[in-house]
Amino acid sequence: MTEYAKIEFEGKIYEFPIIVGSEGEKAIDISNLRQMTGLITLDPGYANTGSCISSITFMDGEKGILRYRGIPIEELAEHSSFIETTYLLINGRLPTRDELNQTSILFNDHSLVHEDMQIFYQNFPRASHPMGILSAMVNALRSFYPELQTIEEEINITVTRLLSKVRTMAAMSYKISRGHKVVYPRPDLSYCANFLNMMFDTPVKHYDIDEDLVKALNTFWILHADHEQNCSTSAVRLVGSGRVNLYAAISAGIAALWGPLHGGANQAVIEMLSDIQEDGGNYHRAIERAKDKKDPFRLMGFGHRVYKSYDPRAKIMKKMCHKVLKKLHITDPLLNMAKELEAAALKDDYFIEYNLYPNVDFYSGIILRAMGIPTNMFTVMFAIGRLPGWIAQWKEGADDPKWKLGRPRQIYTGPKKTQYIPIDKRCTQ
Ligand code: SDX
């Protein structure tokens, strides 16, 4: 039986249906609000606004729950692979063994990047940020693969190309930025092993694939694969709602992820921890600065719009730090500092009052550092992980025959009607 919410305005009572999600979440359906009342809603940052109905990912911020297509993130991190999780997110179910093998073969068949693209890379200034390069190059894929993406197989081949080539493109930008020879994908390597090999193999020093690192990279990308309607996913959906090609929508998502409040936080965390270390390791000062409202400084890697408890991904990431560092016989002073900083913050009244906990970005950089990934590529690593989620969310919109163009309203507070004054009649100052 449908419940209703009532709004009383200017002496009239309006009723709006309540939508209930499969986990009991409730929303007021205000699709007809303006038509019925002349009112719109105002919600800067959309903290109270649902943009869509989705069956892909479920998060409970109070309980620290994250599930992809109903499967808890802890189980996927433990048992799945990034390719299997990619299949789950995009197709809505786990693949059979045969389907999984087919997917891996497809990814290998489409892992190469058109040789002409190398010329683009070579013409970026060497110090260009890899996220800017990745966003531009993903958009450029459209020029090499101009299919319309109106029928299923054209969409599927575009999805395959994106998922497979993004690794090659990321590794290529790293190699070219260092003036090193580009390493090509190998058909005998798995998705993650191929990426590590393309990044670190050189003509003079063969890269030995370490299965523990391959497992760690699988888990790292599984943890990043989707996160319902976050900033960059909302960008992909909004840009996609204009019916632009998928490459352009994903390019917009990469640009949105770049910001330090979003995916760029993993790079900002390591820079923050390094600054604290150079400043003598006084992390208490960082905590005090984070609490000072006059100081724009924020504790990077802490806080979340949805999680008001420990980000379940951060818990897994923190455990992984120890495993990866132990395997590589690395002691990273930033890990110890991160743990001490976390412990001090979690005991601090300000962080308790604001429900600020470590998020996915707080420990992820430690693992990437240990793998040898350069700091300016940390957010590229996030983007590769998030790609299946962006695609799944775009597809969910595109599969809806009534997919509406995203176009929010506003409340105008500028000048009322004003006459145009010819330039020779304007006051001089
Ligand atoms: C990601 O949405 C997703 O799902 C994102 C993501 C994903 O997988 O896609 O999980 C990935 O982006 C994780 C978040 C990475 N960003 C950071 O670690 C940057 C540091 N964190 C903050 O900037 C902040 O916590 C946000 C941006 C993440 C969330 O901020 P909100 O929800 O917009 O909340 P807010 O900025 O309004 O903060 C509420 C209060 C403020 O105090 P008041 O002005 O109300 O007095 O909490 C304070 C903030 O000052 N606060 C912090 C803080 N985070 C929030 N104070 C100090 N340090 C922080 N980190």
| pLDDT of 329 over the 90 cut | yes
Q: Is 304 a catalytic residue?
A: yes
For ligand 1, what atom is nearest to the CA of residue 228?
Answer: 4
What is the reported pLDDT for 391?
A: 98
**Cβ–Cβ under 8 Å, residues 229 and 52:** yes
**Cβ–Cβ under 8 Å, residues 283 and 276:** yes
Q: Is 60 a catalytic residue?
A: no
Q: Alpha-carbon Rg of the chain, whole angstroms?
A: 24
Region 30-43: mean pLDDT is: 97
Region 219-228: mean pLDDT is: 98
| pLDDT of 148 over the 80 cut | no
Bridge partners, residue 72, by sequence: 67
pLDDT in tens, 118-128: 999 999 999 99
What is the reported pLDDT for 428?
A: 73
Report residue 151's pLDDT band, with 50, 70 and 90 as the boundaries: confident
Report residue 429's pLDDT band, with 50, 70 and 90 as the boundaries: low
Report how far ligand 1's centroid is from the alpha carbon of 354 (Å): 10
What is the reported pLDDT for 150?
A: 82
Q: Above pLDDT 70, what percent of the chain?
A: 100
Give dist(CA 74, CA 10) in Å, integer. 50
| pLDDT of 147 over the 90 cut | no
Average pLDDT score over the chain: 96
Report how far ligand 1's centroid is from the alpha carbon of 208 (Å): 39
Report how far ligand 1's centroid is from the alpha carbon of 194 (Å): 34
pTM above 0.95, yes or no: yes
pLDDT in tens, 199-212: 999 999 999 999 99
Report how far ligand 1's centroid is from the alpha carbon of 420 (Å): 43
Best of 285, 313, 317, 354 for a ligand 1 pocket test (most atoms within 8 Å of beta carbon): 354
Q: Which run of H or of E encompasses 58?
A: strand 57-60
Written as six digits, the tokens of 64 are 């620290």
DSSP-derived secondary structure for 242-259: TT--HHHHHHHHHHHHTS
Report residue 327's pLDDT band, with 50, 70 and 90 as the boundaries: very high
pLDDT in tens, 366-401: 999 999 999 999 999 999 999 999 999 999 999 999
What is the reported pLDDT for 1?
A: 87
Q: Which domains does the chain have, with CATH numbers?
A: 4-65 (2.20.28), 72-262+385-398 (1.10.580.10), 283-371 (1.10.230.10)
Q: Which of 83-87, 234-238, 324-328 has the lowest mean pLDDT?
A: 324-328
Q: Whose CA is nearest to atom 15 of ligand 1?
A: 262
Best of 257, 287, 304, 307 for a ligand 1 pocket test (most atoms within 8 Å of beta carbon): 304
* Higher pLDDT pick, 279 / 163: 163
Bridge partners, residue 71, by sequence: 68
- Of 304, 311, 332, 348, the active-site residue reads 304
What residues does ligand 1 touch, defined as CB less than 6 Å away? Answer: 45, 227, 230, 261-263, 265, 290, 298-306, 354, 356, 359-361
